[in-house]
């Protein structure tokens, strides 16, 4: 289930990034950060389940940073 969520979040995030690059409209960057952050969270949870706590903590930190960046991007719109 986590693998499917990770793939879905990644596809949505990459699609938003490609859309922004092609159209040159960067107003949806906060959504891109949000979905790629959720992808990192699911990766972190998977790594915690495998017993790799350092890598899981790193991915959780990346998730928190991307959520911070997403919120800041949304508030500066």
Over residues 40-75, the pLDDT tens digits come to 999 999 999 999 999 999 999 999 999 998 888 888
3 membership: H or E segment, kind and range: helix 2-23
Is residue 8 within 8 A of residue 41, CB to CB? The reply is no
pLDDT given at position 77: 65
pLDDT given at position 28: 84
pLDDT given at position 74: 84
pTM of the model: 0.84
Mean pLDDT to the nearest integer, 25-54 = 90
Residue ranges of domains in the chain: 2-75
What is the distance between the alpha carbons of residues 58 and 21, in angstroms, rounded to a whole number? 28
């Amino acid at each position: 289930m986590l693998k499917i969520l990770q793939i879905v979040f990644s596809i949505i995030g990459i699609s938003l990034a490609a859309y922004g690059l092609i159209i040159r409209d960067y107003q949806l960057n906060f959504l891109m950060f949000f979905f790629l952050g959720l992808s990192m969270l699911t990766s972190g949870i998977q790594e915690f389940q495998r017993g790799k706590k350092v890598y899981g903590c790193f991915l959780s930190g990346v998730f928190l940073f991307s959520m911070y960046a997403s919120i800041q991007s949304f508030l500066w719109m």
